[in-house]
Structure 1
């Protein structure tokens, strides 16, 4: 029994040392801006939204990221064209790799769940980079820049967007807390 307790204590001590060396878990809430590119810019000029992101470290330089939010791309409107807004709830998961202190590269995959009845669920892929800045109040500022592609067919706007991928450059500015 004594050997079992000693072994358990040694394992827990080793595990605590590893956890102390890892990055901390972050929870961030932020605003998002999307600037459509390619054919997508023909039906929307800008997208805005917000998101909540959870980063769970698995090593000193690698973390799993979970991201959920809301994104609305405003449809272009003029005398001839009346495109409805594209409103989605993007749910993504991916990996975040820290290249240096605060600076990271990230890749995410997920799904875009439509709010509008006429839209379909889309596959999402997103590579990006970002930096985390420490603030005076012990919080963090997370600024990320990414390219995001939403792949899937929407029959109601096929004439205006012949591509199956709606791509945009995204900017996320978020306030993060270390948990």
Structure 2
């Protein structure tokens, strides 16, 4: 039996692009009930520094942090995440179990732009994605969390409808075209 996923994308207007405090408020502080696997990240100081220090060695490309600690660290600064995948797991899931699967990633991942929407990690309940300072994506098994996010950010769009309307956009090509248009000014 396939479990339905729900998704929203917040793009345009340049506000709240992956500042965790407003995002956590928008999902009713549900982040506190999960353990978080943080992967493919850039930005978000001072939390990024803590996440980097939380790694066991420099070759690891992830951090594992509980929701309470994540909440506390996110509240210490108002830093924006440029890139990153925050995968929320029930507390019963261990790091060892989570690492049995491929690590979630953001940069260049075409999976966000395909329907039906889905979190990348099969054991995760929720995924928050910082996408190149351009948008924030929320995908969750929890429909209520996604509805609360939509109410907090009324300019966000249903991710499946966005994908249908945009016909799987190539974000890098759009960015390159924007740079060429704006070079001439």
TM range (shorter): under 0.3
Between structures 1 and 2, the one with greater helix share:
2
- Greater strand share, 1 or 2? 1
